[in-house]
Amino acid sequence: MTTILIRGGTVVDPTGTRPADVSIADGVIVESIDGDPDVTIDGRGLTVTPGFVDLHTHLREPGKEEAETIETGSRAAAVGGYTAVVAMPNTDPTQDCVSVVDFVRRQGKIAGLCDVHPSASITVGRAGRQLTPFAELAEAGVRLFTDDGNGVQDPLLMRRAFEYSKGLGVTMAQHCEVEQLTGGAVMHEGDCCSHLGLPGWPALAEELMVHRDIELVRLTGAPAHFLHLSTAKSVELVRRAKSDGLPVTAEATPHHISLTDELLRSYSAIYKVTPPLRTMDDVVAVRDGLADGTIDAIATDHAPHVAETKEQPLDQAPPGMLGLETALGVCLAHLDMALADVVAVLSWKPAAIAGLEALHGRPVVPGEPANLTVFDAEEEWEVIPAQLVSKSRNTPFVGVPLRGRVKHTILGGVVTVENGIATR
Amino acid sequence: MSRSLLSIDELGVAGIQRILELADTMAEVNRRPNPKVPALRGKTVCSVFFEDSTRTRLSFETAAKRLSADTMTFAVSQSSLNKGESLRDTIETIAAMGVDAFVIRHASTGAPWLVDGWTTASVVNAGDGWHAHPTQALLDVYTVRTALNRTGGFEGLRVAVVGDIKHSRVARSTTAAFKALGADVIWVAPTTLLPPVVGETATDRLDDVIGGGDGVDVLYMLRMQNERMTEALVPNLREYTTRFGLTPERAARLAPQTLVMHPGPVNRGVEIAVDLGELPGSVINQQVTNGISVRMAVLYDLLSANPDSTSDIEINDAVAAARMEQP
């Protein structure tokens, strides 16, 4: 197995920030390497951290391989500095049984660019009627359950999901949207949608379900994770739930900390996403939630779509944006947080939510697995869609100044990205 | 001057005034025994209607023909869209046939802007979603301008737009046009039929707006669609008419000089529950007639400004062209 030396970088990990050389042998961080390393990485001016962990990736395989495959999505993840991603279950067939979950995990291993951890749906076929076999799926390694793309609408069914999941070591992750309030909605309900004559997605539709699930957590004692929080009130609800000591966690996307609904004035479906881009007040509230720990993690909600579908008019195009390759650049450009705190919401905090804390988000010290990201925290750049390694091009960040760029990614002691380019 | 007409906002006050003045010239042409001039000879105008609107389409096609343009129609029922062809492919295919202007009607907000990005031909928005319908707005302000002889602008003019504003591209565009010319616009509707955020003065009391003969100068009634009942936006049409319809009682209290307008087609007995013959101020038919002149003005304005227009025939000044044809 290869030996790697990262020389002269600054290590940022859960234990702090320090200048340190990092030696790797046999997939593990070691004190030192005997003889010359096989690979030497010049870490001067660069930051060395545990690999990033994405709680929310749509890899599209099986079912929509024209938009992304597990391989291309894993490559995009690696280029973005991720060593682990949680694959969302809204595939076709749905990740609602062990065989599909195993397939996704196996495809991830074959690609070998990033640890692919499948989540599973809460209900069979994400149809909102019948629970999936939580225990079988937990046995197969699933830690997060979600019907993402849809929220579980029925409060009784959701109560049962929380109750039944207790003790299995799994977490229900909710896409918060009361669908009766969002029928046909294209964008945030507010000033801009009123002017454009588009059906609005009111903030209330998210907040009602956040509130419902917080109360179900209070009732049942089961943990909950809130996906892609987008409104100021949602952040406040989670803040209060945490201060009440409830076992809740939350994530926010790069686009909800950087973009607003005003972009829809371009009529481009590139900016259509669920939940929708909100107002600047919401953006600021989500950033504040990240800064004070109310929101635990940045999760990309990487949602590839083929170009033709995004060229359709707003109401016909599917929602979703790419996120893996730009997440670090968006976070460092738009979050007024210390570098170590930004790395925390990209790495060890999401690793804990995903149940991956034994392998990812570890301290960068001898004996730990070599899942690492090396980035330039100062580089300013702009994304060029044609240069993305994702199979799709639907990034909303064209023309948005980004700061911070991943240079190298190491997965299990193997360099998966070198100088910004995937090695396989 | 711009290549396309997509919204009143993008046209601007100067653009509105330019179209209105040009429309006067076109109206003069339309009053002739032979209302046709060769101004757009050799130009091809294609109507692409993804949503049915026979009136608007006929109005545009009549306008194009009176300027001697060739016209084509692409109706969605005859199209390959049902076979999965994308909007972009449809537009690029038609554009490749050598079209100078697209007249687009689409149920989706923003579709004409997308089309405008895919072709060098001129694009006229003939209505997109609930969003915009600029030629309707232009014919509305042109109708008021001629009816009240207000060529200098609408300072002090009071306009009430009544009805389902939330779902109305007409309301959005006509409000923008009236305001651009200096009028005060008030929206009259229940909250359920207003946009979530209302940027205009709004009331749910039509009687206050009509007043006792001292009310608004223009009463613009919108079409009330039956499907709004099923969405629980109003309880039923009877109650809608009672609160927001132009009933005989309200008509009797209107000052005689109050203009009554409607984009058509009128839902008789709902938003207008009185015989139009009993409304001396009704200019609803004039709106339809003026629609031709205004759309002629729009097509002429755009095609004379578009350097990518494919015709090899010089467009002469419309007036000069008109003179050429004088007997």
Q: How far is B181 from chain A (nearest CA, A)?
A: 19
Identify the pLDDT of residue B307: 59
Among A321, A302, A329, which residue's Cα sits nearest to residue A407? A329
Owner of token pair 């008509």 = B251
Residue A363 has pLDDT above 50, yes or no: yes
> What does the longest C-alpha to C-alpha distance in chain B come to?
59
**Mean pLDDT to the nearest integer, A205-212:** 98
The residue with greater pLDDT, A227 or B276, is A227
**Selected residue with higher pLDDT from A392 and B280:** A392
Task: Please report the pLDDT score of residue A406 as a whole number.
Answer: 98
Burial of A310 (0-12, 13-18, 19+ CB in 10 A): buried
Element counts in chain B: helices (H) and strands (E)? 12, 9
Q: Sort A147 into a burial class: Cβ within 10 Å, 0-12 / 13-18 / 19+.
A: buried
**Residue B181: φ, ψ to 5°:** -90, 5
What is the mean predicted confidence (pLDDT) over A342-367? 98
What pLDDT score was predicted for residue B230? 72
Whether pLDDT at B324 is above 50: no
A196 pLDDT exceeds 80? yes
pTM above 0.95, yes or no: no
Residue B233 contacts A where some CB pair is shorter than 8 Å: no
Share of chain A above pLDDT 90, in %: 99
Q: What pLDDT, on the 0 to 100 scale, is given for residue B57?
A: 95
| Beta-carbon contacts below 8 Å between A and B | 66
Which residues of chain B are within 8 Å of residue A316 when distances are taken between CB atoms? 108
Closest CA to B237 of B248, B226, B251, B247: B226
Q: Label residue A175 by pLDDT band (50, 70, 90).
A: very high
- The answer to whether the Cβ–Cβ distance between B132 and A197 falls below 8 Å is yes
Average pLDDT over residues A285-295: 98
From the list A296, A347, A326, A333, the residue with the least C-alpha distance to A395 is A326
Please report, for chain B, the start and end positions of each structural domain, with discontinuous segments joined by +.
8-132+290-325, 134-286
**Residue B83, pLDDT score:** 64
Give the pLDDT confidence of B62-85 residue by residue, as tens digits.
999 999 999 999 887 655 555 667
Query: Among this protein's residues, is A213 annotated catalytic?
Result: no
Fold of domain B134-286: Rossmann fold (3.40.50)
Asked if B150 and B144 count as a contact pair (C-beta separation under 8 A), the reply is: yes
Of the listed A115, A301, A315, A336, which one is catalytic? Answer: A301
pLDDT at site B311:
43
Q: What number is the average pLDDT over the span A373-380?
A: 98
A409, β-bridge pairs: A373, A417
> Does the pLDDT of residue B278 top 90, yes or no?
no
Query: Does B315 score more than 70 pLDDT?
Result: no
Segment B181-205, tens digit of pLDDT: 999 999 999 999 999 999 889 999 9
Q: What is the mean pLDDT of residues B264-271?
A: 93
pLDDT for residue A170: 98
Reported residue count of chain B is: 327
Report the pLDDT value the prediction gives residue B313, as an integer from 0 to 100.
37
| Inter-chain CB proximity A313 and B110 less than 8 Å | yes
Q: Give the CATH number of domain A51-359.
A: 3.20.20.140
Interface of B with A in 119-158 (CB under 8 A): 129-132
Topology of the domain covering B8-132+290-325: Rossmann fold (3.40.50)
Which candidate in B6, B109, B133 is best for mutational testing of the A interface (most A CBs within 10 A)? B109
B161 touches chain A (CB under 8 A): no
Predicted local confidence at residue B211, as pLDDT = 86
Average pLDDT over residues B210-221: 91
Rounded to two decimals, the ipTM of the complex is: 0.90
CB distance A117 to A354 below 8 Å:
yes
The pLDDT value given to residue B52: 85
For range B156-162, the mean pLDDT: 97
pLDDT of residue B312: 36
Domain positions in chain A: 51-359
pLDDT of B310 higher than 80: no
The pLDDT of residue B316 is 43
Which pLDDT band holds residue A385 (cuts at 50, 70, 90)? very high
Interface of A with B in 397-416 (CB under 8 A): none
Q: Cβ distance B47 to B79 under 8 Å? A: no
Average of pLDDT values for A147-155?
98
Inter-chain CB proximity B109 and A190 less than 8 Å: no
CB proximity A197 to B under 8 Å: yes
Residue A73 has pLDDT above 60, yes or no: yes
- pLDDT single digits (tens) A35-63: 999 999 999 999 999 999 999 999 999 99
Option in A191, A198, A311 nearest B109 (CB):
A198
SS3 of chain A: the string is CCEEEEECCEEEECCEEEECCEEEECCEEECCCCCCCCEEEECCCCEEEECEEEEEECCCCCCCCCCCCHHHHHHHHHHCCEEEEEECCCCCCCCCCHHHHHHHHHHHHHHCCCEEEECECCEHHHCCCCECCHHHHHHCCCCEECCCCCCCCCHHHHHHHHHHHCCCCCEEEECCCCHHHCCCCCEECCHHHHHHCCCEECHHHHHHHHHHHHHHHHHHCCCEEECCCCCHHHHHHHHHHHHCCCCEEEEECCHHHCCCHHHHHHCCHHHCCCCCCCCHHHHHHHHHHHHCCCCCEECCCECCCCHHHHCCCCCCCCCCECCCCCHHHHHHHHCCCCHHHHHHHHCHHHHHHCCCCCCCCCCCCCCCECCEEEEEEEEEECCCHHHCCCCCCCCCCCCCCEEEEEEEEEECCEEEEECCEECC
- B282: pLDDT strictly greater than 90: yes
Do the domains B134-286 and B8-132+290-325 match in fold? yes
Quote the mean pLDDT of chain B: 90
> Which of A267, A308, A310, A314 has the most B C-beta neighbours within 10 Å, making it the best mutation to test the interface with B?
A267
* % pLDDT > 90, chain B: 80
